[in-house]
Amino acid sequence: MAHALTPRALATAVAAAFVLAGCGGGGGGGSTAVSTPVAATPSTPAATATDTPAQAAVTFANVSVHDPAVIKVGDTWYAFGSHLAAAKTTDLMNWTKIADGVNDGNPLFSKVTTALADTFAWAQVTDLWAPDVIQLDDGKFYMYYDACKGDSPRSALGVAVADKIEGPYVNKQVFLKSGMWGEVSPDGTVYDALKHPNVVDPNTFRDAAGKLWMIYGSYSGGIFIMAMDPATGLPVAGQGYGKHLMGGNHARIEGAYVMYSPATKYYYLFTSFGGLDATGGYNMRVARATNPDGPYLDASGKDMADVKADPSKPLFDDASIAPYGQKLVGSHQFALAAGESGTPLGYVSPGHNSARYEAATNQYFLIFHTRFPGQGEYHEMRVHEMFINDDGWPVAAPLRYVPLSKSATTISSTVTSADTAGAYKMVNHGKDISATVKPSVAVRLDANGTVSGAGSGNTGGTWTHKGNNNVAIVIDGVTYSGVLSRQWNPNANAFAVTFTAQSKTGVSLWGIRTGS
């Protein structure tokens, strides 16, 4: 028989921490951010050694949508986020906000405070957290919405349906609840936040065979998955909370999202570790499985279902979970190289992502929200291309997505060995969960195959071009399997060769070429 939930007094004592991230990243405001935005382009064109001459700056239209869940309808991408925010784009660079704020003027619902009154009554707050939208076989759009009290995992998860992607959505029903102190939970036992989920952060997806699933959860008992009925959009009966996949004991793990790769036949489970605020150390990690409901493993073979906080340590212990999962990106900043100008590029607490494979172009995309060095809690969405390395793991490009077609001159997507050799600024993302912003260091990939400079470690290193834009970098005896590409560097007003590489221990390196 399960023991009763952690006493209500504990929830009160840790209220501040739950407000920041216990409900799936809801601490990020939609239109409430007041900090000065990060400059999107450098002040003047810069001359530096890159692949193409300096050209007119590429521009972006940025939006703040926290916890973005992305769906593509026709040629248009939509991002739905916390606080009933939404935006759309046709190029993944220029976004237009179409909704924001949990109020009766939001066009996604007709009077949302009335439509979701039962949800708000349970959660004891008039707010919505990270949603997800999917189009099911009936052609209708199903929005999986959730609300959380904020100082505890008292949450409600439901679904609303619309004929059009931009709504209005009509509530169908709440189908999961959590945080019922001392009461029986959906699995028949007394709710226990150490092992039962906080029912927020849904992601509903189809597997390779077309079967429908929903993955969800934040902190508390961890990440869970349920089989869904595509005819109703509701869980298949009799599952309780579903199957546990990751986390527990209030480990700071949330924002689960699953992407299938037809090339590798793996399901990739993306999550965010740490706290979402600027000092929380938020970072994105990935594990993989051959089945949609797991088990999900990291490259060391660790079953992520066993990755949870140590209950003997203080609440929200990060040290016990930090060694696991493949870390894609954390807080970092690239220094300006000679000839570069503008705001130095970098992210603070990037996370709560969507991931998308585009079959038509054979591209992978990572879409997430992030804060920025020196900008406090101000946040915006970012899109980065991803690649699959030689070890079958996704690695993320160091710079935000800009297609090569934006180049003023025609450039090839192929990066040769000769193209690769040169000077770089490199970030080592490490495996820690901390507020430390990792600075870039100088490194050289020398033409003779050696790695030199400050970033080459204590014993130096080597690099090998493996064809098809693949590269292997060895530093201090550790091999990083990587992918080369050309990415838009706004500090140089040009496309530059970059590398993104990852070790089997789950550490990622990002490099931007700055000279010959």
**Residues assigned a catalytic role:** 67, 254
Residue type (1 letter), 160: A
Helix (H, G, I), strand (E, B) or coil at 32: coil
Total residue count of the chain as it appears in this document: 516
Residues whose CB falls within 8 Å of the CB of residue 206, separated by 6 or more in sequence, listed in order: 212, 213
Residues whose CB falls within 8 Å of the CB of residue 301, separated by 6 or more in sequence, listed in order: none
The alpha carbon torsion through 121, 123, 126, 127 (nearest 10 deg) reads -150
Prior bond to 295 cis, omega within 30? Answer: yes
Terminal alpha carbon distance of the chain = 66
Q: What is the DSSP letter of 1?
A: -
User: What is the DSSP code string of 46-75?
Assistant: ---S-SS---SPP--B----SS-EEEEETT
State CA 257 to chain mean position distance: 8
Euclidean distance between CA atoms 50 and 64, whole angstroms: 31
User: What is the DSSP code string of 450-505?
Assistant: EEESGGG-SS-EEEEEEETTEEEEEETTEEEEEEEEEEEETTTTEEEEEEEEEETT
Q: Is-contact 387 405, C-beta < 8 A?
A: no
Tokens standing for residue 299? 């490259």
